[in-house]
Structure 1
């Protein structure tokens, strides 16, 4: 199946500026249909959710549509889809709530491969109740995560793991990790923020108790989502206002939901489903099937460009590519011997090429690699990336090294 990247690009108003965006891991560009959905919700007749007035019913429909859309995207039960301000905020909320079930001496497992949003909330919650934090490292030479099962015990209460590193792209064996956690009677919280932007997710197949993501990484508005197993959520008692709903998932959503943002989330999922559906999935009409077909096509496009980027970087003098895992996302971390990645970032920006430098909150990963808090230059490919943009990136870095 041919992937029509130019047709995809035409749907993003921001790309008309000519800037080459390799900064998608920090937040993707937004298609017009998502902005339209946000605007339409804001300017329509809405009220707080209810069933009496048309405005109340419209708000309720937006929320339920968004839950169904995220359920289709993530292969999860819509009844367990929780919305919040950000993945970080939601993870802190769940960490505080789950910590009430922990006792001194219980254990929580985190990894050096994770974004700090899936490390610090758990470490701080554990410290508050006297639980022990167990760390799982990774091989700096390959980027592959160490065996999580070796860190588990009968005292393990929660395993927090990323589905893919937002710094070096390493994909982890989530299903195996979840199975190991469950065998010990522990829950598993998966950070899917970076993964969900590039690959079809099937939370039910993975068995994850919680799967967190951020719609603004895949063309949506800024917010956070956790798809939890409804039966697990039903056992948790978060802090909430007395008159606020006690039903799942509403009991985890503090205050009135931002209806316009949720409308944008639904539009983003529909946009993904329409990226590259096959004739068969069009005929079938199921959104989940179209999502899977589209993301398979996107994956082929992004992986081909990633290979071009990596091959080009290997030709540059002093370039060190840190993204080396056998299975990885189209995200490449690179440093340059004798040159600061931040200087390369600024040079590229002057050429209209956005590839930022830093550790991007994956502070444990950056330090484990020996890069301190500085990290490196991160090149993130997206469904709208092109061969011509890859050429601009590589030419710009070659020019930077010549001038430096």
Structure 2
């Protein structure tokens, strides 16, 4: 299928202000369908979940629909979908639960390619238990994370391997199935940060080999919340601290307090919008796979346009070099500050931020320190006119 970008853009009121948004990796703009679903949920009868009153049934339906929507998007089991404030919060909460049995002699593997949300929780959990952290480095020349590098760090003492599905700084998509297969062979669990990947490609948590997979709806057109996907049986072996009267059922035992029903309704609406790009026929999982494949092709075409043009610009270093990557580019400029490019472009209605974007270990490993560079990230609503404006703005700034 081909993507009708003009029709999709019509769903985003924020685009009416004329800005070209290359800031999607930090959070996409919100379609009107999502805002409407959230408003409708807030204004209709709602209560704590139950089956007696209409308000109770409304709340229960919202939660069940959102769990199924996330399961359809990721290929997971709706009974293993946990909602939280953010992917970072969920990772922190589960890191405390998973590390409860760790001690001296145990090991956890993290990578320098990851967002700090998939590094620091594990480093801190290991420190609290006296466990050892082993670091997997990526190749700064290519941006690639070799599975063999991770494999060399594994031992019978490895308890967990944390790896990104795609780098939010460089776009690198490591060979997650190969990495998780090595981890499982060593007897370790795997935690995959899918926040950046889920926004740009079809996801199948089983094929990835992810024991735990986190994502954030606000990266794929939805509201600000986080989702964890795992097998219900695995979640059933974990026992978080919780209030005594609260349910011990999975997945509710991990959801502390009343869920934000309006955000869950917005999450379902965002996933339905994505599925709708493939038309109304077929089950939602199949339509999502087709739609995300089409989005990936659209974004890859625009990414190639940008990369080809950047190679012709003097003094520009493109750090996003991996063979398999999302449409997320990191740039630096000889003798010039990326933050100045950010401001120059912003004055011309082109939003491309500068920084390390919490991928602190990756930025430092590249030799860019904490400053990082200019990040150019594409989203489903990015079109050729946006790309033209970005390239024109960069050329003007470099010539100034």
Measured against the shorter chain, the TM-score band is: over 0.9
Q: Give secondary structure in 1 for the equivalent of 2:317.
A: strand
- Aligned position for 2:266: 264
Q: Give secondary structure in 2 for the equivalent of 1:143.
A: coil
Counting only pairs closer than 5 Å after superposition, residues 279-290 of structure 1 correspond to structure 2 as 282-283=280-281, 285-290=282-287
- Please give the alpha-carbon distance, in whole angstroms, between the structure 2 residues aligned to 1:254 and 1:210: 19
List structure 1 runs of 4+ shifted beyond 4 angstroms. none
Deviation at 1:216, TM superposition (A): 0.2
Deviation at 1:103, TM superposition (A): 1.8
- Aligned position for 2:125: 125
Counting only pairs closer than 5 Å after superposition, residues 110-149 of structure 1 correspond to structure 2 as 110-146=110-146, 147=148, 148-149=150-151
Deviation at 1:126, TM superposition (A): 0.2
Counting only pairs closer than 5 Å after superposition, residues 1-400 of structure 1 correspond to structure 2 as 1-146=1-146, 147=148, 148-277=150-279, 282-283=280-281, 285-400=282-397
- Please give the alpha-carbon distance, in whole angstroms, between the structure 2 residues aligned to 1:90 and 1:2: 35
TM-score (norm 1): 0.98
- Please give the alpha-carbon distance, in whole angstroms, between the structure 1 residues aligned to 2:278 and 2:356: 33
- Please give the alpha-carbon distance, in whole angstroms, between the structure 1 residues aligned to 2:247 and 2:176: 33
| CA-atom RMSD in angstroms | 0.8
Deviation at 1:276, TM superposition (A): 3.4
Range that drifts further, 46-55 or 199-208: 199-208
- Please give the alpha-carbon distance, in whole angstroms, between the structure 1 residues aligned to 2:71 and 2:384: 33
Q: Give secondary structure in 1 for the equivalent of 2:241.
A: coil
- Please give the alpha-carbon distance, in whole angstroms, between the structure 2 residues aligned to 1:155 and 1:29: 43
Q: Give secondary structure in 1 for the equivalent of 2:152.
A: helix
Deviation at 1:161, TM superposition (A): 0.2
Per-residue CA distance 1:32-72 (angstroms, 9 max, x = gap):
00000000000000000011111101100100000000000
- Please give the alpha-carbon distance, in whole angstroms, between the structure 1 residues aligned to 2:345 and 2:141: 28
- Please give the alpha-carbon distance, in whole angstroms, between the structure 2 residues aligned to 1:260 and 1:329: 30
Unaligned regions of 5+ residues in structure 1, if any? none
- Please give the alpha-carbon distance, in whole angstroms, between the structure 1 residues aligned to 2:125 and 2:285: 36
Q: Give secondary structure in 2 for the equivalent of 1:79.
A: helix
- Please give the alpha-carbon distance, in whole angstroms, between the structure 2 residues aligned to 1:71 and 1:348: 38
Deviation at 1:235, TM superposition (A): 0.5
- Please give the alpha-carbon distance, in whole angstroms, between the structure 1 residues aligned to 2:58 and 2:179: 41
- Please give the alpha-carbon distance, in whole angstroms, between the structure 2 residues aligned to 1:164 and 1:3: 23
Deviation at 1:388, TM superposition (A): 1.0
- Please give the alpha-carbon distance, in whole angstroms, between the structure 2 residues aligned to 1:136 and 1:178: 14
Q: Give secondary structure in 1 for the equivalent of 2:390.
A: helix
Q: Give secondary structure in 1 for the equivalent of 2:101.
A: coil
Deviation at 1:207, TM superposition (A): 2.4
Per-residue CA distance 1:335-356 (angstroms, 9 max, x = gap):
0001000000000000000000
Per-residue CA distance 1:247-282 (angstroms, 9 max, x = gap):
1100000100000000000001101101234xxxx4
TM-score (norm 2): 0.98
